[in-house]
Structure 1
């Protein structure tokens, strides 16, 4: 997530520079052929270009609206995880009781620390790369990684779990397929044993189990966004429309500027190049921005900051346990926070 007021041009222009190169090439070739080799047939009416531009703008607008909705939904889900985690911490602290205060504190810590492990495993799962994601496959996104780090790519899950789970639990979790699901199952199993042992009443047991169900719901919503890409048919048609428009746009400009040669001279044809670059860049960048927004957990600079959110939840729940030695909040690097 970018925490500044806007992306700076010194970052944005290099990120999109290939679009500028592309439009320069697409415009200079037909302009040169028209001017030097008298290829008058390259001049086409502006009407079909305008109609195609309208269609491309509509499709781009539709795509960007939908991809933004995916990102905003992902942020809402993690907002619910924040609230549910705080509620879970309060319930564990206040509902599970024992005459031995030391044992009671140990139970609270064990359950809440296991919740930290669930948050950790979930963010690692969400940051796994999928075939349709773009951060590692597109060169301009790989270049932009120099401005920030994705924590889940810099460390191992096993090391991250060591402060929260014992060796036996870590060994088990690393062998299962859906690790976050099994951690919640472990929570439920321990709560059942605590209920049998009289550490938590039947009513409170049911309330905490319902809270686990809510965490499962939020996890499932995250998995739905992560595992189901923006429909490829809409993504493809936007790409095709935009590229066809960029191909025809210089020809349309040549047609329009050729009408002005008697008044302003033949050199006016060269205005085709800057006009094509500017307008084509706008359409191509809209397509690129939509692409960079459609996967809110992929590890891009526009991701939902799930690492920061997880750390903030950990700080809140550690304070509920009365701990003083708290982890430091995660801060932005070059205005990018993960």
Structure 2
């Protein structure tokens, strides 16, 4: 997530520069055919280009709206997890007079957060984080889950026996919550909590399972591929056709200009078509980078930073003073 005022134009140009190069070539070829090779018949009526541009704008607008909703939903899910985690910390500390068990339940919850965020950072074939323009931009920020091993992080919160068990399971976050339920059952059977407290704590686990399932559904369900491909196809088709529709109009400017540019006005098709096409392509690229809010791109939901904030608050509930530092943005990017 970008935590600064805004992206700089220079950053945006670097991020999109490969497509700018392609758009420049796409604009240059029709001009060479028209001006150098004298293919004066090359012309697409402007109303057709206008209709295609309107259609492309509608499609890219629809796509960006839907992809933003996915990121917004991811933010809402983790805001809910944040709130539920605070509640879990309070009830784990205050529902019974057993500091050892309180610490066990709270540390296991931090292990669950760790397992969940590591699972969400795993790659999927449809994600765009490893595309050249996104992978290159990763030099400006860090992805904690890619820099430290899952086992070493989980070892901070679980005993050796529990760590060995969890590492051998398939869905590690699910099994950590299962251990929580077993401990709560033991507390109830030992009369350390009453039935209403038992029910409340199990209800909290159910809420965590619900949020985990929502996160997993978001992670494992890409933005519909049929919409993604038609968006990309229409945008590039428009960018290819655009300079052909501008040739005649810029050529007519030779009748009203004087000086060095007279007879060469058609060459202005190259920069102007590149600029217009860049607007559409950039919107398409922004939408693509917003599709998957947990993939490790600069526009992700900051689940690492939120997990660290939750950990600090929960450990303060236990009275600990040797707390980890809050994660800070790097070049205004925080994950």
Normalised by the length of structure 2, the TM-score is 0.97
Alignment of 1:54-93 (within 5 A): 54-93=54-93
The 5 A counterparts of 1:125-136 are 125-136=119-130
Following superposition, the deviation at residue 172 of structure 1 comes to: 1.0
Partner of 2:296: 299
Q: What does 1:254-293 align with in structure 2 at a 5 Å threshold?
A: 254-264=247-257, 265-293=262-290
Question: Does 2:115 align with 1:116?
Answer: no
1:1-338 correspondence runs (5 A)? 1-97=1-97, 104-136=98-130, 138-264=131-257, 265-338=262-335
Once the 2 structures are TM-superposed, how far is the Cα of residue 309 of structure 1 from its aligned partner? 0.2
Distance 2:122 2:301 in 1: 14
Residue aligning to 1:100: none
Q: In 1, distance between residues paired with 2:170 and 2:126?
A: 21
Q: Across the two proteins, how many residue pairs are aligned to each other? A: 331
The Cα shift of 1:4 comes to 1.0
What CA deviation, in whole Å up to 9, does each residue of 1:72-104 have, x standing for no partner? 00000000000000001111111123xxxxxx1
- What is the CA-CA distance between 1:59 and the residue it aligns to? 0.4
Would you identify which runs of 4 or more consecutive aligned residues in structure 1 move more than 3 Å?
A: none
**8 A Cα contact 1:46 1:255, kept in partner:** no
Ranges in structure 1 where 5+ consecutive residues have no aligned partner? 98-103
Deviations 1:162-216 (A, max 9, x none): 1110111111111111110111011001100110001111110000100111111
Question: Residue deviations 1:135-179, cap 9 Å, x none?
Answer: 11x111111011011110111111001111011111111111111
Secondary structure at the aligned position of 1:237 is classed as helix
Cα deviation, residue 236, structure 1: 0.4
Instruction: Give the superposition deviation at 1:124.
Output: 0.1
Q: CA deviation at 1:255?
A: 2.6
Conservation of the 8 A alpha-carbon contact between 1:45 and 1:256: no
CA distance in 2, matches of 1:233, 1:268: 40
Deviation at 1:259, TM superposition (A): 3.3
For 1:256 and 1:175, the matched residues in 2 are separated by: 68
Gaps in structure 2 of 5+ consecutive residues = none
Q: Distance in 1 between matches of 2:142 and 2:82?
A: 23
Q: 1:270, CA displacement in angstroms? A: 1.1
1:209 and 1:127 map into 2 onto residues whose CA distance is 28
